[in-house]
Amino acid sequence: MTRDTLTGSRIRERRLFLALRQAALARQVDISASYLNLIEHNRRRIGGKLLVDIARVLGVEPSMLTEGAEVALISTLREAAADAEKPVAELDHVDEFAGRFPGWAEVLAGEHRRVATLERTVQVLSDRLTHDPQLAASLHEVLSTAAAIRSTASILAETGELEPEWRDRFHQNLNVDSRRLAESSRALVNFLDDSSTNAARRGVPLEEVEAFFSAHDFHFGAIEQGQASPAELVADASELQSDAARTDAMAALELYRLDAEKMPLDEITQAVANKIDPMALAETFSCELPSVLRRLATLPEDVLGRQSGLVFCDASGSILFRKPIDGFALPRFGASCPLWPLYTALARPQVPLRRQVVQHGRHATGFECLAVAWPQAQVGFDKDPMYRAVMLILPQTVSPADALAVGSSCRVCMAKNCQARRETSILDEEF
């Protein structure tokens, strides 16, 4: 059905939009209601003075009724059909579909445009992932170690008789470098292996530790009840493939054990039954606020009464540990948003911060972020303090209107005119 045969459908849509009865329109253009009914159902062609009169009563140009405003819409629908890569039997009726059901046609066309935009974004992200800094670092480690082995082997092969002391030293270097090469190669293979059955690709110590903690829901009942030590849990963990990951996991579990000893599960469960007040908990258990924030994040969800997220970093801003939470994106690679209260706390050491935040995104969710920075060791007159910061993330049912807007990382942040932006977002229009 061509566009000029849909004039009646457009008349009907415009009349219904104006809440005008069929009989009233027929009376104003001096025709019968039954004849107008035939016109609106595309059973009678219309033109000349009658078309002009109806257009005048409906308040539109006659061309809007004969040609319609769906020319671009029909073109988009045809593109959607072509991109479907399957036969579309009703393609010959696309004009009729747009004329009879303009609302649904707009929905379909809008979804097609949105999918096309998302596909372009995914393609750009895929291209950028080829320049992943973690991948570059892994390759650099492998190549550097191989070069060191090659250099040592050349000395042993091309040099004449060596003194036993120097020969033993070169042999020791070969042993150490070969072990390092094997470890780096295994990490690189794990990082690149897409056929892994694990949901998250690993291959770097931080990801292995996160996978280990995630497998236990960030709560270790065996440590709470004294049934297993951190060393025993690390030794049995299949998620920890590298020595570096096992070392980092051991340090994190030791910190977990110390926090659990200060705040036993039964006692803190009673303390948070009515209200989560970190300052009151710190006073009740006579411990530091960072310990309280870490402990709250490792409590089971049924004990805390809600989800919780956790991030802590060192003085450089590098993330050392994270517990993800739905709705608050934590970047896997690259620097995080400098507007996070976590980094504000670094500028105000030992000053607790409470901020209501909302993260940019399609579904903006409100969160309460509690952060504090503390020195890693006792400071001295000739020793500069080195700080770390921790941030507890708690979801909110209602986000206040004045909540602080933050992102995840500048590379994927859609915020406009942000003073904290360090690099152009790959979601900008130019991409």
Please tell me whether residues 69 and 212 are part of one structural domain.
no
Backbone angles phi, psi at 67, to 5 degrees: -95, -35
Tokens of 322: 């994270």
Do the Cβ atoms of 83 and 59 come closer than 8 Å? no
Backbone angles phi, psi at 391, to 5 degrees: -135, 125
Please tell me whether residues 373 and 408 are part of one structural domain.
yes
Please tell me whether residues 286 and 426 are part of one structural domain.
yes
CA distance 63 to 243: 75
Contacts of 195 (CB under 8 A, 6+ apart): none
Instruction: Summarize pLDDT for 130-172 with one digit per residue, the tens.
Output: 556 666 667 777 888 888 888 888 777 776 777 888 888 888 8
Long-range contacts of 99-106 (CB under 8 A, 24+ apart): 99/1, 99/3, 99/6, 99/9, 99/10, 99/68, 99/70, 100/6, 100/9, 102/13, 102/70, 102/73, 105/70, 105/73, 105/77, 106/73
3-state DSSP assignment of residue 35 = helix
Please tell me whether residues 286 and 409 are part of one structural domain.
yes
Q: What is the CATH number of the domain that holds 397?
A: 3.30.450
Residues comprising the chain, all counted: 431
- Pairing status of strand 387-395 against strand 309-313: antiparallel
Instruction: Specify if 390 maps to a domain.
Output: yes
CA distance 260 to 23: 79
Q: Fill in the DSSP letter of residue 52.
A: H
Contacts of 19 (CB under 8 A, 6+ apart): none
Say how many CA atoms lie within 13 Å of 341 toward its Cβ. Answer: 24
- Count of domains forming the chain: 4
The β-bridge partners of 322 are: 311
Please tell me whether residues 190 and 229 are part of one structural domain.
no
The β-bridge partners of 328 are: 325
Instruction: Specify if 269 maps to a domain.
Output: no
Instruction: Summarize pLDDT for 289-326 with one digit per residue, the tens.
Output: 999 999 999 999 888 888 899 998 888 888 888 898 88
Please tell me whether residues 316 and 415 are part of one structural domain.
yes
Instruction: Summarize pLDDT for 363-404 with one digit per residue, the tens.
Output: 567 899 999 999 887 777 888 888 999 999 999 887 777 888
- Sign, Cα dihedral of 53, 55, 59, 60: negative
Residue 204, CA distances (Å) to 111, 148, 191, 292 in order? 38, 22, 7, 28
Instruction: Specify if 16 maps to a domain.
Output: yes
Range of the domain at 234: 203-262
Tokens of 215: 């497998």
pLDDT at residue 370 in the model: 94
Instruction: Kindly tell me if the per-residue pLDDT of 183 is higher than 90.
Output: no
pLDDT at residue 258 in the model: 93
| Burial tier of 149 (Cβ tally within 10 Å: 0-12, 13-18, 19+) | middle
Please tell me whether residues 279 and 413 are part of one structural domain.
yes
Contacts of 123 (CB under 8 A, 6+ apart): none
Please tell me whether residues 78 and 163 are part of one structural domain.
no
Confidence of residue 199 (pLDDT cuts 50, 70, 90): very low
Instruction: Specify if 124 maps to a domain.
Output: no
Instruction: Specify if 293 maps to a domain.
Output: yes
3-state DSSP assignment of residue 26 = helix
Please tell me whether residues 79 and 167 are part of one structural domain.
no
Please tell me whether residues 19 and 88 are part of one structural domain.
yes
Instruction: Summarize pLDDT for 42-88 with one digit per residue, the tens.
Output: 888 787 888 888 888 888 777 777 765 556 566 677 777 776 666 65
Please tell me whether residues 348 and 392 are part of one structural domain.
yes
Q: Quote the percentage of the chain above a pLDDT of 70.
A: 81
- Range list of H helices, 18-132: 22-28, 33-40, 48-58, 62-66, 71-83, 94-100, 102-129
Do the Cβ atoms of 356 and 368 come closer than 8 Å? yes
Please tell me whether residues 396 and 291 are part of one structural domain.
yes
Instruction: Specify if 121 maps to a domain.
Output: no
Instruction: Specify if 270 maps to a domain.
Output: no
The β-bridge partners of 319 are: 313
Tokens of 202: 């690993």
Tokens of 239: 């998620």
Instruction: Specify if 114 maps to a domain.
Output: no
Q: What is the CATH number of the domain that holds 52?
A: 1.10.260.40
Domain boundary among 153, 171, 197: 197
